[in-house]
Amino acid sequence: MTTFNLAERIRPKTIEELIGQQHLTGKKSILRTAIEHGKIPSMILWGPPGTGKTTIANIIAHTLKAPFFQLSAISSGVKDVREVIEESKTKEGSILFIDEIHRFNKGQQDALLGAVEKGIITLIGATTENPSFEVNGALLSRCQVYVLKPLNEDDLKELIQQAVEKDDWLKKKNIVIKELEALFTISGGDARKVLNLIELCAEVMKEGEELTDKKVMDIAQQRIALYDKSGEQHYDIISAFIKSIRGSDPNAAVYWLARMIEGGEDVKFIARRLVILASEDIGNANPTALVLANATFEAVNKIGYPESSLILSQCAIYLASSAKSNSATLAIGQAMSAVKQQGDLSVPLHIRNAPTKLMKNLGYGKDYQYSHSYENNFSPQEYLPDELSGTKFYDPGRNAREEELRKFLKGLWKDKYDY
C-alpha cells in the first residue's frame, strides 16, 4: 500500500482532468477563462466536502506556475499568515490557499486584508459554510465567491472509472466494481468520500473479487471511523443530530452533539442548524424554541469553545423535549409550489397600494375593508389572488399551541379551519 491515499494519488493536476463543477471550469466558464488568461481574482470557494475546492486551488497554482502557500485555519494563526505575507513580498504572484477559512476569527481574517488589497497575495479560501456569515465583510468584498456543487451520479461514475483505470495499486487488486448504488448513496456527492470508500473496500477484498452494494454496506459499517475531523461524516452526524431532536430524543441529541464537539465540528455550524430546526420542526408548537435557539447562536459566537458546549447542550435538550410541528414548513412549501406553478398572479385590486390619483381612478384600493374598523378587528375579505381564492396553505399542527390557533382562525374563517 502506498503512503498517499487514493484521493491524493489521482488528484487532478490540470483543469481538463477535473470531474464536475462544469459551471465553473467548463469551456468558456468564468473561472476557467480567468485561469487561461493567467489572471485570477482573490476568491472564496464555497461548497460541501469533497467537491474539489483544494483541487481547484492546486490546479490554479500548477497552471499559473505561481508560488503557492497553503494553510489550514484549524492549525494556523495570525503569526503563520504574517510569515506567508512577508515571504510573498519577494515572490511576485503568490497564491495563498486557506482551507476552512470560516474557522479564522476576525483578527486572523483582518491580517489578510491589507495583503489582499495591495496585491501581495491572491487569496483562495475554501469553506463549507456560507461566506456571508463566516467571512468578514471587508475581506469578502475583495473576493469573488464561487459556489461548488455536490458531484452527480454521472460525475461519480466517471471518477470511479478513472480511479480503477489510472491508479497502479487498484489495477493490481483488479477489483471489479459490479454495482454503484451503495457507493453513490454513502458518498452523497463527495468525491473524496467515494474514493476513500473504494480504497477501504479494496484493502479487505481478494484480488479480482467483485464489489457489490451489499459488500460496500457491510465494509462501510464495520470500518468507517466514528467521526472524521476532515468532514467526511460531517453531514451524516449532523443528520443524526437533527433527526434525534426532531424525534424528541434528548439522549440521542446530546450523544450526537458530543460526537460533533469531540470531532472538532465548528460550534457555530451546530448553533446555526439549531436555529433552522427550531422553525422547521417545532415552529408554532412552541415559538419560544426559536427565541432560545437564536439566543444560543448569539451566545456561542460570544463564548466560543469549550464553554459553548454547555449552551449547545441546553438548547439541544430543550428543542428535543419540545412539542413538534412542521406546519410552517409545509405552508411555505405549498405556497412556493403555487407560485412556481401559477406564476406571478395579480394582486387583488382592493388590497393594492394607491398612492396616486391615477391608481385610485383605476380602482386600486377600492372596497378595501380596514380590519380594525370591524368587530374583533376582522373582516372576511379575500387577500389571495382570484385564482387562489379560498386556498389554505397553513394547516395548524395537532399540538396544544396550534390547537389554540386553529380555534381562533376557525372563529374567523369558519369552515376553512375544520379538520
Find the range with the poorest average confidence among 154-168, 226-240, 345-359, 386-400.
Answer: 226-240
Task: Give the end of a domain, one of 118, 147, 176.
Answer: 147
Amino acid identity at 293: A
Average of per-residue pLDDT across 35-49:
90
Tell me, what CATH number does 107's domain have?
A: 3.40.50.300
Predicted pLDDT at 364: 87
Residue 64 scores a pLDDT above 70: yes
Predicted pLDDT at 125: 93
Reported as a pLDDT band with limits 50, 70 and 90, residue 224 is low
Residue 259 scores a pLDDT above 50: yes
28 Cβ neighbours under 8 A, 6+ residues apart: none
Residues 134 and 241 in one domain: no
Which residues, listed in sequence order, are joined to residue 70 by a DSSP beta bridge? 97
Highest mean pLDDT among 22-26, 188-192, 207-211: 22-26
Residue 226 scores a pLDDT above 70: no
Whole-number Å distance between alpha carbons of 116 and 142:
8
Residues 96 and 137 in one domain: yes
Predicted pLDDT at 323: 95
pLDDT digits (tens, 9 = 90+) for 90-119: 888 899 999 989 888 877 888 888 899 998
Reported as a pLDDT band with limits 50, 70 and 90, residue 419 is confident
User: What residue has cell string 457507493?
Assistant: 183
Whole-number Å distance between alpha carbons of 388 and 58:
53
Whole-number Å distance between alpha carbons of 367 and 369:
6
Grid cell, residue 49, equals: 466536502
- Asked if 272 and 297 touch (Cβ cutoff 8 Å), the reply is yes
Find the range with the poorest average confidence among 65-69, 178-182, 230-234.
Answer: 230-234
Tell me, what CATH number does 372's domain have?
A: 1.10.3710.10
Residues 355 and 261 in one domain: no
* 3-class DSSP string for 328-360: HHHHHHHHHHHHHHHCCCCCCHHHCCCCCHHHH
Whole-number Å distance between alpha carbons of 123 and 150:
23
Q: Is residue 327 part of a domain?
A: no
Grid cell, residue 211, equals: 464489489
Q: Is residue 190 part of a domain?
A: yes
Residues 244 and 290 in one domain: yes
Q: Is residue 228 part of a domain?
A: no
Q: Is residue 297 part of a domain?
A: yes
Task: Give the end of a domain, one of 178, 196, 223.
Answer: 223
Residue 250 scores a pLDDT above 90: yes
Average of per-residue pLDDT across 371-388:
91
Predicted pLDDT at 107: 79
Residue 293 scores a pLDDT above 90: yes
361 Cβ neighbours under 8 A, 6+ residues apart: none
CA distances 319 to 125, 165, 169, 275, Å, are 34, 49, 49, 10
Task: Give the end of a domain, one of 223, 257, 285.
Answer: 223
Residues 168 and 130 in one domain: no
Q: Is residue 6 part of a domain?
A: no
Contacts 24+ apart (CB under 8 A), 219-225: 220/182, 220/186, 224/200
Residue 245 scores a pLDDT above 90: yes
Residue 1 scores a pLDDT above 70: no
Average of per-residue pLDDT across 279-296:
96
Residues 302 and 379 in one domain: no
Count how many Cα atoms sit within 13 Å of the Cα of residue 8 in the half-sphere of its side chain. Answer: 4
DSSP 8-state symbol, 326: -
**By residue range, what is the domain housing residue 172?**
153-223
pLDDT digits (tens, 9 = 90+) for 188-204: 788 888 898 898 888 88
Question: What value does the mean pLDDT of the chain take?
Answer: 88
C-alpha dihedral (103, 92, 63, 51), degrees to nearest 10? 10
User: What residue has cell string 399542527?
Assistant: 397
Residues 45 and 81 in one domain: yes
DSSP 49-82: TTSSHHHHHHHHHHHHT--EEEEETTT--HHHHH
Predicted pLDDT at 234: 66
- Asked if 189 and 48 touch (Cβ cutoff 8 Å), the reply is yes
Residue 405 scores a pLDDT above 60: yes
Which residues, listed in sequence order, are joined to residue 96 by a DSSP beta bridge? 69, 123
Phi, psi of 317, rounded to the nearest 5 degrees: -65, -45
Residues 171 and 277 in one domain: no
Q: Is residue 5 part of a domain?
A: no
Residues 277 and 312 in one domain: yes
Tell me, what CATH number does 297's domain have?
A: 1.20.272.10
pLDDT digits (tens, 9 = 90+) for 336-358: 999 999 888 999 999 888 888 88
Residue 372 scores a pLDDT above 90: yes
Residues 102 and 135 in one domain: yes
**What's the total number of domains in the chain?**
4
Reported as a pLDDT band with limits 50, 70 and 90, residue 223 is low
Pairing between β-strand 210-211 and β-strand 176-177 as defined by DSSP bridges: parallel
Helices 267-277, 288-303: inter-axial angle, 10-degree rounding: 170
Predicted pLDDT at 222: 63
Residues 187 and 238 in one domain: no
Reported as a pLDDT band with limits 50, 70 and 90, residue 4 is low
Tell me, what CATH number does 215's domain have?
A: 1.10.8.60
Predicted pLDDT at 331: 94
Q: Is residue 343 part of a domain?
A: yes
Q: Is residue 128 part of a domain?
A: yes
Number of Cβ within a 10 Å radius of residue 285: 23
Residues 142 and 161 in one domain: no
